Chain A
Amino acid sequence: DQQVKQNSPSLSVQEGRISILNCDYTNSMFDYFLWYKKYPAEGPTFLISISSIKDKNEDGRFTVFLNKSAKHLSLHIVPSQPGDSAVYFCAAGGSQGNLIFGKGTKLSVKP
């Protein structure tokens, strides 16, 4: 069973508009959540994280929202730029330090 799900394999957005990437999880014991960005043939790079005790964390154009009751988090990118085009992975972790990753959402930002 997938503990972390990204149900949208792809998302296309116009430059300057908002990109919203979604992630659902099943395990209420997760302590923290992270978003990674990945280009083809490269390693993922960390974008932003959020602790389970918070509901929002913001860093520049990136904001992550956590809805614990719905077991749902989302990444908002505003404004979207062509350089944001990549695969975005949601990950969740607990006390052991291991991360469980979703399958990713491919974001395409069109000029």
Chain B
Amino acid sequence: DGGITQSPKYLFRKEGQNVTLSCEQNLNHDAMYWYRQDPGQGLRLIYYSQIVNDFQKGDIAEGYSVSREKKESFPLTVTSAQKNPTAFYLCASSALGGSGGYEQFFGPGTRLTVL
């Protein structure tokens, strides 16, 4: 089945450690996105990539890093510089161009808890 997978579902880390969240899609989408959701907040964009080997900062990129070495994969690293890393992280992908509405398809999310 086509879709987006994120792993793991739950992740615990000690303060000061870097952690990498996985996101893979087999939808052949060009664009991929990382969002963060906090209680009572909408989805805030961390980073996005519209093509392999290129990515752009979103609204809250500080303390995060990404890579896009393959079209299917867009891992997110939460670094120790991120002051409030505990959150629900969502990865999404979309096809670009055409007459569609640029609908984004979301993965199931990763709940990161920093102890």
Interface set of A (CB-CB < 8 Å, partner B): 4, 6, 9, 32, 34, 36, 41-46, 49-51, 89, 93, 97-99, 101-104
Chain B interfacial residues counted at CB < 8 A = 29
The secondary structure that dominates the B interface is strand
| A93–B101 CB distance below 8 A | yes
Cα A46 to Cα B92 in complex, Å, equals 11
The B17-48 residues at the A interface (CB cut-off 8 A) are 31, 33, 35, 40-45, 48
Q: How far is the CB of B58 from chain A (nearest CB, A)?
A: 8
Whether A43 touches B108, Cβ cut-off 8 Å, given contacts A97-B31, A98-B48, A101-B42, is yes
In the complex, the chain B residue whose C-beta lies closest to that of A96 is B50
Interface set of B (CB-CB < 8 Å, partner A): 4, 6, 31, 33, 35, 40-45, 48, 50, 58, 88, 90, 92, 94, 96, 101-109, 111
| A34–B103 CB distance below 8 A | yes
| A103–B40 CB distance below 8 A | yes
Cα A101 to Cα B42 in complex, Å, equals 6
| B94–A97 CB distance below 8 A | yes
Cβ 8 A contact of B106, one of A6, A43, A102: A43
Cβ 8 A contact of A103, one of B42, B103, B104: B42
| A41–B42 CB distance below 8 A | no
For residue B107, which residues in chain A have a CB less than 8 angstroms away from its CB? 43
For residue B88, which residues in chain A have a CB less than 8 angstroms away from its CB? 41
Cα A42 to Cα B106 in complex, Å, equals 9
Cα A32 to Cα B48 in complex, Å, equals 19
Q: Of B31, B43, B92, B96, which is in contact with the most chain A CB atoms at under 10 Å from its CB? A: B43
